[in-house]
Amino acid sequence: MSSNPFAYDGPTISALEICLSADRMSSYLVASGGDRRQALALYTYNTALSAGLYGPLQVLEVALRNAFHARLSTGFGAAWHDDATFQAINPRDLPERIAEAKQNLVNLGKAIDTPHIVAQLSFGFWVSLAGKGPKGAYITGLWIPHLRAAFPHVAAIGRKDLHRRLERLRRLRNRIAHHEPIFSLDAIEYYESILELCSWIDPRIPGWIEHHSRVRAIVAAGVIVDQKY
């Protein structure tokens, strides 16, 4: 319970509903059986849960892209993103994504160099590299010779299962980024999936995440309805 006093009287509830919009609140009202105060409490819980999961997701995204970057640099050179062999693996998509990242950097007034390009490429880009690609091109051109080595701390790894899990977490990240409801999801299961995938890259990462994370505490506390008027 927050130490900051706040009264959920009728006018305040109405003002918050206008602020958040009826469309946005509809999912919370349905889940709360039409109880407006309960719906706002659920919205607050959803916000806290989203914030709690965003940090671990951020670590996974950065760890994944740096691990993939290291392997691609070994296979295609330091500027792998401009390598013709790399781009030819999927000539309809890879050059376009690289060009888009470069244009975004131009628009932001940033340097067009490898560190900035790597950081500018989306989570979706990195996740897609673990997919099969057109006619299995990513499996033979990226996964087998290069990217599976990005996970040295797992005895056996199935590319298809890895991609499915990463894609699932990418969708969660996008839902959080767009402020969508996630309260009905199994947050702990998602959280532990993040920890496990990070451990495959380096087993020290999950302990660091756990040390700072509030996900388990948020889920354990659940939805708290402020009864004060």
Give 147-201 pLDDT, tens digit per residue: 999 999 999 999 999 999 999 999 999 999 999 999 999 999 999 999 999 999 9
Burial class (CB in 10 A: 0-12, 13-18, 19+), 161: exposed
Cα separation, 46 vs 175, in Å, equals 11
Closest CA to 225 of 51, 50, 35, 52: 35
pTM of this structure: 0.93
Which tokens hold the place of 35?
Answer: 């109880």
For residue 17, the number of C-alpha atoms closer than 13 Å in the C-beta half-sphere is 19
